[in-house]
Amino acid sequence: MQFVKGEKYVCMLAPSFVSMYEYPQIIYRLRALGFEKVVEVTFGAKMTNINYYEILKTQKDRTWIASPCPTLVNMIRTKYPHLIPNLVPVHSPMGSMALIVKKHFPGYKIVFVGPCLTKKMEAEELGTVDEVLTFKELNELFSTNNIPEKITEGKYYVTFDKLYNDYTKIYPLSGGLSQTLQYNKILPKKDILVTDGIVNISKILDQFKDGFYKHYKFLDILSCEGGCINGPHMDCKYPIKERIKRVKKYKEYASRFEKDLGRSGKKIDADGIDFSRKF
Ligand code: SF4
Better pLDDT: 180 or 255? 180
Task: For residue 197, report the distance from its CA to the centre of ligand 1, in Å.
Answer: 10
- Summarize the confidence of residues 108-131 as an average pLDDT: 97
What rounded mean pLDDT belongs to the chain?
A: 95
Distance 225 CA to ligand 1 centre (A): 9
**Which among 137, 143, 146, 141 has a CA at the least distance from the CA of 114?**
137
Q: With H, G, I as helix, E, B as strand and everything else as coil, classify residue 90.
A: strand
150 burial (CB, 10 Å; 0-12 / 13-18 / 19+) is: exposed
Using an 8 Å Cβ cutoff, are 46 and 68 in contact? no
Residue having the nearest C-alpha atom to atom 8 of ligand 1: 116
Residue closest via CA to ligand 1's atom 5 equals: 69
Model confidence at 263: pLDDT above 90: no
Q: Is the pLDDT of residue 261 over 80?
A: no
In the structure, which protein residues have their CB atom closer than 6 angstroms to any atom of ligand 1? 69-71, 115-116, 118, 222-224, 227-228, 231
C-beta separation of 164 from 42 below 8 A: yes
Cα of 208 vs its chain's centroid, Å: 27
Task: Answer whether residue 259 shows pLDDT above 80.
Answer: no
Q: What was the pLDDT predicted at 233?
A: 93
pLDDT tens figures, 145-203? 999 999 987 889 989 998 989 899 999 999 999 999 988 889 999 999 999 999 999 99
CA of 70 to the centre of ligand 1 (A): 7
Distance from Cα 262 to the centre of ligand 1, integer Å: 30
For residue 187, the model assigns a pLDDT of 94
* Res. 118: pLDDT tops 90: yes
Cis peptide bond prior to 117, omega within 30° of 0? no
Q: What is the model's pTM?
A: 0.96
CA 233 – CA 134 distance, rounded (Å)? 6
